[in-house]
Structure 1
Amino acid sequence: MAVALHGHAPAAWPPDAQYGAATPGKIGMWIFLLSDAFSFAGLLIAMGILRSGQPEWIRQGEPALAIPFTALLTFLLVATSLTNVLAWAAAAEGRRRAAAALLAVTAAGGVLFLAGQYHEWFGLWGPGLTEEGLVLGRSARASTFYVITGYHGLHVLVGVVYILAVLARYLRGLATAHHVELLGLYWCFVDFVWIFVFSFVYLMP
């Protein structure tokens, strides 16, 4: 590629391997993820504003959050990012069976995360936060907790459905490594956002 620089003779630029490599699907996914990041940022900022305006953030009778249990869920969700990346690598190398297995493991991890979140809220093998006194609408802490974690949980649920849809198409030969890569962008974003949710909602003193 030759261009004129300030009236001088044309100069040849070295070829760029990434020039024109982004597909419309990838560009669209990045635009969606960027806009989605603003929605999470807005929720976390709103929580910070509400929290700074209340002298007592934890009302009497409200339980503490189970940080060790949620930390385990966080590790599980982050681990699914690794299995998702490995699935894309396997698909790119043509190892279809390995790619399908890794996608299934990723979806299973998402389901386990949702089950853990359900247990945290309502209880599966013990009392949940709602039974212990953290009820939606009774305090700003309870409302922001359920709205933010629920909004993220919705993203995980959509991601699990997305993974299963791509997996079904991949097994029938209708999806390629490119589709697995687009899926990976969404799933890694969901995992990355959870790090911020966990840090601000659970760990902030």
Structure 2
Amino acid sequence: MLPESIVTILPELNKAFFETIYMVGISLLIALIFGLPLGILLFVTDKGLFLQNKLVKAIVGFVVNMVRSVPFIILLVALLPLTKLITGTTIGPTAASVSLSVAAIPFFARMVETSLREIDKGVVEASVAVGATPWMIIKDVLLPEAKPGIVQGITITTISLVAYSAMAGIVGGGGVGDLAIRFGYYRYDNTVMLTTVIILICLVQLIQLVGDQLARVVDKKS
């Protein structure tokens, strides 16, 4: 039998879980759309690469590092005016997705850059030597070669977003974190708090398992 406190908030728990999935899903999609090209740009503009550009590398690198250096809880509060402008509100999962997306984009961009750096430079140099265009090198060489690393980067980013989404509950962002604060912390209900922690642990384990399997599938060398 489930404890009475859990049975009472079961509908809320179900709603909170899907709010967390919703927040993470939106933020991950935006991170993929903007973070992937940003990570590629960080790599190809580096010294010795086919689109070397010190100024672009410095500016993009500075912006990425600046956002990543701000603790998420501070970023969450600092972006409330932007959140209000975009979504018309500062509470709820859609509003929380704005801050989550801003935090996820530079994080994933660095994941992509790291994956690209693991590619053998000889492969890139050979592509340049045969006259391949920058777009062809990116599309036909860099992305296929870095695919397993990028998949792992997506996995790590998703897990980080789950953790960040729990923090969003502090400002009424909804999700499992919000439930833990309202029903667990404010009401001193350790059973609810423990249940939310277990749910988050299970979710993270599932994401990691799926991510590892996908990375093996796309790894042509395995």
TM-score interval, smaller chain: 0.3 to 0.5
Higher helix share: 2
| TM-score computed with the length of structure 2 as normaliser | 0.30
| TM-score computed with the length of structure 1 as normaliser | 0.32
Name which one, 1 or 2, has greater alpha-carbon Rg.
1
